[in-house]
Amino acid sequence: EAGVVQSPRYKIIEKKQPVAFWCNPISGHNTLYWYLQNLGQGPELLIRYENEEAVDDSQLPKDRFSAERLKGVDSTLKIQPAELGDSAVYLCASSLEGHGGYEQFFGPGTRLTVL
Amino acid sequence: KQEVTQIPAALSVPEGENLVLNCSFTDSAIYNLQWFRQDPGKGLTSLLLIQSSQREQTSGRLNASLDKSSGRSTLYIAASQPGDSATYLCAAPMDSSYKLIFGSGTRLLVRP
């Protein structure tokens, strides 16, 4: 069974440029999460989707960040414009409601560097 | 507000040693607790998930315990190997939202 797929793996951009990250969850997983991980820290939740609905986006900086999950499968996280402080690893995870107590499975992440 | 703390922040042991990693949380009303492994530059690999009704879970050389009353979980690694070198993170969901709150991790180095 394929795991969570993310692309790109690495992205280097200049500040004020836009950037987008893509995530394909494990097949059949209805819940999708985007996390941000700074160096030496644990991940922090940005947004959680149940199917197409964003049920928790309280930690998403909505002035510059946006996300979508069309058709309840793939998801895209966008930053526009990027700032120096956005340099971090962006992780996508998925889980199956009612299975295993919502065990979350993570993708490899996208490492963003903003110059 | 759930806070998760991991001690120690870093640990270096010789190969073959048994070791324990600690995780503490402030809100005992957790739904479950999950232990992850993260290799440098990689994503997180789920190691063990302990439901709130369970006391422990085992997978191979790994054993995780959960004591909700004291707000603690431990990850026991038996007969450590150099391949176990990684950062180990624990995470507990905040209320019924299943929003995971992570600790900062323990960086483990197993010396050959």
> pLDDT digit string (tens) for B54-102?
999 999 999 999 999 999 999 999 999 999 999 999 998 876 667 889 9
Instruction: Looking at the complex, report in whole angstroms how far the Cα of residue A63 sits from the nearest Cα belonging to chain B.
Output: 22
Nearest of A96, A92, A85, A42 to residue A67 by alpha carbon: A92
Cβ distance A101 to B42 less than 8 Å, yes or no, reads no
Which residues neighbour A75 within 8 Å (Cβ) at sequence distance 6 or greater? A22, A23, A25, A32, A34, A49, A67, A68, A69, A92
Provide the token pair at B20. Answer: 């324990």
Bridge partners (DSSP) listed for residue A65: A79
pLDDT at A99 over 80: no
Which pairs from A43-46 meet CB under 8 Å and 24+ separation? A43/A91, A43/B44, A43/B100, A43/B102, A44/B102, A45/B99, A45/B100, A46/A77
pLDDT the model gives residue A1:
64
CB proximity A94 to B under 8 Å: no
| H or E stretch at B94 | strand B86-94
| H or E stretch at A12 | strand A10-13
Cβ-nearest to B34 among A41, A48, A104: A104
Q: Determine which of A24-38, A80-94, B66-80, B95-109 has the lowest per-residue pLDDT on average.
A: B95-109
Cβ distance A102 to B4 less than 8 Å, yes or no, reads no
Cα–Cα distance between B26 and B40 in angstroms, integer?
28
Contact in structure between B15 and B39 (CB atoms under 8 Å)? no
Q: At A46, which amino acid appears?
A: L
pLDDT the model gives residue A103:
84
Q: Which residues of B touch A109 (CB under 8 A)?
A: 42-43
How crowded is residue A71: how many other Cβ atoms within 10 Å of its Cβ?
Answer: 7
pLDDT band at B1 (very low <50, low <70, confident <90, very high): confident
